[in-house]
Amino acid sequence: MFASVFIITQGTPGGATETISYFIYRIGFRTFNFGYASAASVAMLAITVLVAQLFVKRFFRSGRA
Amino acid sequence: MAQTRTRRRKGERLWLRYVVLAAWAAFCLAPILWFLSIGLRPRTEIIAPQPIYLPTFSLAAWEMIWRDWPMAHYLRNSLVAIAGSVLIDLALAIPAAYSLARYDYRGREDIGFYILSTRMMAPAIVAIPIFFLFRNLGLLDTVWALMLAYAAINLSLVTCGPGQDHDDAHDRRAGGADRRRDRHRRRGGQRR
């Protein structure tokens, strides 16, 4: 969820259409706060791994991962 | 396939499918056609407050993108980045996919799933590390950075994409002895 947000609204108005991906881009490459953006990236990775893990456990029962 | 045939034999109306698919195709094509029509009319008719149903034909916008912007250069960048990333991906993915499909070894499924799982991650997560990596390599603002980024992101699809179960694709082509051996192999792989 980055390209559509970037092209259409850029997160406006007031962050109403902002996604985590776009947030990371804005913090990192617009305000150059790389530490904050890195922390957000790691947090998003943790969330992704958690959700993916639940999904894989639920739908791939044949011993995969 | 068999399912489709039985359904069709039961007399499901084929034309209904075509109507639904045609409607969906029109829905997907509408924005593109709309943009095309905007691109082919003069500027004053684009920003007109009332809709204009019969706009005058004008190639001014098309002239402008070629005159004022280095379009040929942009297209060349895209071609170089895509062609290079495809070559990198093929060089890496062909041996990887072959070994995943044909050989059985410890952790084969896990390695394959790991390669595929890189696709599940949002690219924005690695944007900052990639930025620093390319900066340290002096690759910022070059087409090579684009090429490497495309190659890295698409590698999972090139390796695991076509045909989810390589064993089955092989089974259909291979002879009996080969098939039996492969099935045996696959069971062994799953038991572990």
Q: At CA A53, angle to CA A52 and CA A56, rounded to 5? A: 80
CA distance A63 to B123: 27
The stretch B43-60 carries a mean pLDDT of: 83
User: pTM score > 0.80 for this model?
Assistant: no
CB spacing of A45 vs B120 below 8 angstroms? no
Under 8 Å between Cβ of A25 and B146: no
CB spacing of A2 vs B109 below 8 angstroms? no
Q: What is the DSSP letter of A27?
A: I
Q: DSSP 3-state assignment of B70?
A: coil
Separation of first and last alpha carbons in chain B: 33
CB spacing of A28 vs B190 below 8 angstroms? no
CA distance B182 to B192: 16
- Evaluate if residue B176 carries a pLDDT over 80: no
* Chain A residues closer than 8 Å to B123 by CB: 2, 21
- What pLDDT sits at residue B6? 53
The stretch B70-93 carries a mean pLDDT of: 94
**Of B2, B112, B128, nearest to A45 (Cα)?**
B128
| Residue in chain B nearest A36 by alpha carbon | B128
